[in-house]
Structure 1
Amino acid sequence: MTTTREAPEPVTDVELVVLLDEGGSPIGTAPKADVHTDATPFHLAFSCHLLDDEGRMLVTRRALGKRAWPGVWTNACCGHPAPGEHMETAVQRRVRQELGVDITALELALPDFEYRAVDASGIVEHERCPVYIARVDGELRPDPDETVEWQWVEPERLLAGVRATPWAFSPWLVLQAEQLPLLAGAA
């Protein structure tokens, strides 16, 4: 008797992003390395804001080698869930990759956040980007290919800075700052 088995999924190092239709439903995948262009399709991502034990928020400066918004100050971490990956797992994975730290008390703060923005080089971000808040559990050890500088700041000072100089921050941080309950309470 002969039996057949399905071939296992090929193992690949290509990082994929989940593409979305206008309503936010998954419609496919694309390699992350190819998706961010001047015609970036709508896709799934996330943002995470981190707090320390003193209630300060982490802002990071994107590495100068980043394709989009290099050198811009932004929230603690952003990323994309892999196809089929739970969003919370993706957040924890990406924070560990970018900042070298674990997180606790992960909470969804803005489940329906979406934005489209174009950087100075013409690269477009077009994302459904749920926003999370978490606490750090340990000392930061940022990956220099992701983060070149970081600073802990009181929420009210961050909000004041974003309002005074929005051009110095990522567009997603500027938009999130007005919506996040943590920052709205700092006004």
Structure 2
Amino acid sequence: MVLVDGTGHALGTAPKLSVHGRETPLHLAFSSYVFDRAGRVLLTRRATHKLTWPGVWTNSCCGHPMLGEPLDRAVLRRLSYELGLPAKRADLVLPRFSYRAVMGNGIVEHELCPVYRVTVDLAEAPNPDEVDDTRWMPWSDFAKGVLSGLLEISPWCREQVPLLTALGPDPLRWPTAPDDELPPAARVRLD
């Protein structure tokens, strides 16, 4: 995993298992929200054997880029692996989202976590190593449920939803951000 400082510059790397604990350093990650053409969002329930937030409902897919991997490609790689979704494009919508959350057992997530929107036309095929369940929900219903506190959701998703709703009511029309707004450690270019 790519470790970063508070300004988003790379500090080095560390194995994933050594990073997630009670003293989790800030590291590079991503979140993605998958939508169908009707504007429904795909929610996932994290596998119950996961180290962080097992069995918790969350946005479509989260993960970490490999060293030197552009974030949009990491999103597409993980969507294919976790949900069996072959997507062609991931659109950057929140380039500098960051959060820190602590589980009841003291394990910490601390991520610089740009957020992407992906639109698909196919049904998901969840990988049970990653996902226990999926649910499609109209974005407006989901956003209202999160904002009102009626929906139990992961802490990062709870922080992202107000920022995403500020982009507009139709997720298929959210403005995209250019890659140069990403944190420096995430500005990987492949020629």
Q: What TM-score, normalized to structure 1? A: 0.86
Deviations 1:91-116 (A, max 9, x none): 11011111111113421010010000
> 1:63 and 2:67 equivalent?
no
Deviations 1:45-98 (A, max 9, x none): 000000012210011111100101011110000000011111111111011111
Partner of 1:162: 146
| Fraction of identical pairs, as percent | 48
Partner of 2:19: 35
- RMSD over aligned Cα, in angstroms? 1.6
Rounded Cα–Cα distance in structure 2 between residues aligned with 1:166 and 1:110: 24
- 1:95 pairs, out of 56, 79, 87, with 79
Amino acid at match of 2:125: R
Partner of 2:94: 110
Rounded Cα–Cα distance in structure 2 between residues aligned with 1:52 and 1:90: 20
> 1:84 and 2:68 equivalent?
yes
Rounded Cα–Cα distance in structure 1 between residues aligned with 2:159 and 2:150: 9
Runs (5+) with no aligned partner, structure 2: 171-191
Greater per-residue strand proportion: 1
Amino acid at match of 1:149: D
Partner of 1:148: 132
Which consecutive segments of 4 or more residues in structure 1 shift more than 6 A?
A: none
Q: What TM-score, normalized to structure 2? A: 0.84
Q: How many residues align?
A: 170
Specify the structure having the higher radius of gyration (Cα): 1
User: 2:21·2:108 contact (CA, 8 Å) conserved in 1?
Assistant: yes
Amino acid at match of 1:176: Q
